[in-house]
Chain A
């Protein structure tokens, strides 16, 4: 018997109905003399139909709210494309000075102490950053009031740094309880909805300074440092470590002066 040029790929394509008429005729002739192979291909077709039936119900189910929100996001498609393209361009061209990742403050490798502030900041971030309607107590439109209020409660001069350079704008802030007294949390958000919180608290032991340290608590990355009587922590679950470091630098530079 002569060797017919029908291979396994042909059989798969036949089962899927994707052969040309000519090729299909060839395969049919081949299968006609091979009942076992014919049964196998028929079984593939049957199973395909059953698989489609099995998952069909998913197509008519109502879309869960969280998915609809994720799909529509907070702003228009075109705008997002423009921003995303612009960011990609910045990276491709070699980012301008403000985007560079050289830390102003040395970055420590390990975190032997002070991890408590990182943990607290991460927990506070995880608690409030997913909030859609109530992310903050006082909004950025009342920034002066927010800053005065938090300064008064913490007993130190507190400022909300400007992070526009990193694409983050102030959402607002809130007061939180802490071991050494009240703690301030500022929340920032990028145009595509990434959130960052800055956690500011007074430190019990003064005259202590630390390098930037990095910690990860669950999904939240935290850069933190202590500057004499004040501890700072930048926390985000959305930003990469490098992005977070850039923000921490901005915060540090502004609060230092």
Chain B
């Protein structure tokens, strides 16, 4: 069993989650790199045969939380969102771009839960373990995240959308 190879295979998923979590590409790749490096030093804590993906996401969550603490930026994203080139090559790229902005505006705790459930399709139990929170907290954060996201996307009439995109 070649775990190093599996680690490489998981990079795209780590990047996708990090990109949605952090809000910009460079920052996301920094997070992934730190996560991989951290994973190497924490390897003795990984039990062979258990879910490597879940373990890596736990490592990533810890790295992310430490970075936020270090920079004291709980929610660094204001109106000036970084460039989101290459996101959404689909026809309705503008909608997806707005969605990305909306995701970025969710409180960090809620965003993590929403993304693990939605992108990684983790079970609620897995999310609870990954983030180190009770399952009840997972459910309430998920509920609040979805409701906020819905409200933000509903509030985007075509006119305001044009204004936001510039």
**A interface residues (Cβ-Cβ under 8 A, vs B):** 8-9, 11-13, 15-16, 18, 40, 43-44, 47-48, 50-61, 63-64, 66-68, 70-73, 76-77, 80-81, 84-85, 87-88, 192
| Beyond A53-B88, A55-B20, A67-B15, 15 extra complex contacts between A and B, CB < 8 Å | A8-B143, A18-B124, A47-B146, A50-B96, A51-B114, A54-B88, A54-B103, A55-B100, A58-B12, A61-B15, A63-B12, A64-B29, A68-B11, A72-B7, A84-B42
Give Cα A6 to B27, complex, Å: 41
A51/B119 in contact, CB under 8 A:
yes
Residue pairs across A and B with CB atoms within 8 Å: the count is 122
Does B149 touch A at the CB level, under 8 Å? yes
Residues of A within 8 A of B40 (CB): 73, 80, 84, 192
**Which stretch in B31-39, B61-69, B71-79, B156-164 binds the other chain?**
B31-39
Residue of B nearest to A80 (CB): B43
Residues of B within 8 A of A50 (CB): 95-96, 99
For the residues of A in contact with B, the DSSP-based class is helix
CB distance from B120 to the nearest CB of A (A): 10
CB distance from A88 to the nearest CB of B (A): 5
Picked from A54, A60, A76, A84, the residue with its CB within 8 Å of the CB of B12 is A60
Picked from B2, B117, B147, B154, the residue with its CB within 8 Å of the CB of A16 is B117
Q: What band does the interface of chain B fall in when counting residues whose beta carbon is under 8 Å from A? A: 35 or more
Give Cα A55 to B142, complex, Å: 19
Residues of A within 8 A of B37 (CB): 70
User: Given that A51-B103, A52-B118, A57-B86 are contacting pairs, would A72 and B43 also be in contact in the complex, using a CB cutoff of 8 Å?
Assistant: no
Give Cα A64 to B33, complex, Å: 10
Does B153 touch A at the CB level, under 8 Å? yes
Does B44 touch A at the CB level, under 8 Å? yes
Does B129 touch A at the CB level, under 8 Å? no
**B interface residues (Cβ-Cβ under 8 A, vs A):** 2-4, 7-8, 11-13, 15-16, 19-20, 29, 32-33, 36-37, 40-44, 46, 86-90, 95-97, 99-100, 103, 114-115, 117-119, 123-124, 139-140, 142-143, 146-147, 149-150, 153-154
A71/B118 in contact, CB under 8 A:
no
Give Cα A52 to B8, complex, Å: 22
A70/B12 in contact, CB under 8 A:
no
CB distance from A78 to the nearest CB of B (A): 8
CB distance from B70 to the nearest CB of A (A): 11
Residues of B within 8 A of A81 (CB): 43-44, 46
Residue of B nearest to A74 (CB): B40
A63/B87 in contact, CB under 8 A:
no
Give Cα A55 to B117, complex, Å: 14
User: Given that A58-B16, A81-B43, A81-B44 are contacting pairs, would A72 and B4 also be in contact in the complex, using a CB cutoff of 8 Å?
Assistant: yes
Residue of B nearest to A47 (CB): B149
Residues of A within 8 A of B36 (CB): 67, 70-71
B100/A59 in contact, CB under 8 A:
no
Query: What are 22 sample pairs from A and B whose C-beta atoms fall under 8 A apart?
Result: A12-B146, A40-B150, A43-B154, A44-B150, A47-B99, A48-B118, A51-B103, A55-B119, A56-B16, A57-B86, A57-B87, A59-B13, A61-B12, A63-B15, A67-B32, A68-B11, A70-B32, A71-B4, A80-B40, A84-B43, A85-B44, A192-B40
